[in-house]
Amino acid sequence: MSAAGEASLSSMATNRPSALYDATGYWYTSSAEERGVEVLNALRRYRSAESDMRKRTRDSMGMGDTDLAALRFLVRASRRGEDVNAKDLATHLGITSASTSVLIARLVASGHLRRNPHPTDRRGVLLTVTNDSHVEVRSTLSAMHRRMIVTAESMSADEQAVVASFLDSMSEALSIDDHAAEAESPADGPTDSPTDSSAEPPSENTPQSTAESHDPAGFENRIR
């Protein structure tokens, strides 16, 4: 092998994640923590790819995040035959009524949205996307959606159940507001407890429990 080839292989070995595989190359024999790190890295790669896709979509359609989110919400509502007014849109987007009015005016001016009189409420106004918007959304997102459906359908029923359960569990883990939990916890200081002078510090060779040996900082640093 040439010197350049050896240097390339050496570089690949250096950059390869450590301890993810054993000598046989089988992933499932590595430790639970290392497998967990790799799963989270895969999840981050997916999120990065999704973020890139959304940026391409925004650039292609010439609109910002909130405008695109509003349009997708209205397209879904249209497909389900649901009526949407300005209040519904504001609630979905989590923005003020004033910001919603500006957004609606912008989408109407760009030809993506129409204001329609409510059939039973004279003062009510319903929001609908234009036919051109339906076509634009389909042409921009349908191919990507098909690829995602094909990927999901390629798994077995058991695999689909495992993935769905994992993603639901991750959603629950992310939904916890740690700052709110800290604010609600009592502010009492640590209580004094009697010390046992006869107790000896653990030896360096004494194995620690999983909780004691777990290094959150080191764990997070391995999540690329």
pLDDT tens by residue, 163-211: 999 999 999 999 988 887 677 765 555 555 554 444 444 444 444 444 4
Q: Where in the chain is the domain with CATH 1.10.10.10?
A: 65-174
Q: pLDDT (tens digit, 9 = 90+) per residue, 69-93?
A: 898 899 889 889 999 999 999 999 9
Asked if pLDDT for residue 27 goes beyond 80, the answer is: no
In this predicted structure, the answer to whether residue 67 has a pLDDT above a threshold of 80 is: yes
**Cβ of 90: how many Cβ atoms within 10 Å?**
19
CA distance 53 to 41: 18
CB atoms within 10 A of CB 150: 9
- The Cα–Cα gap between 219 and 38 comes to 11
Q: DSSP H helical segments within the chain, as ranges?
A: 3-15, 32-61, 65-80, 86-93, 97-109, 131-153, 157-175, 178-184, 210-213, 216-221
Mean pLDDT within 202-222:
45
Q: Which CATH number fits domain 65-174: 1.20.1260.10, 1.20.200.10, 1.10.10.60, 1.10.10.10?
A: 1.10.10.10
pTM here is 0.54
pLDDT higher than 90, residue 133: no
CA distance 29 to 27: 6
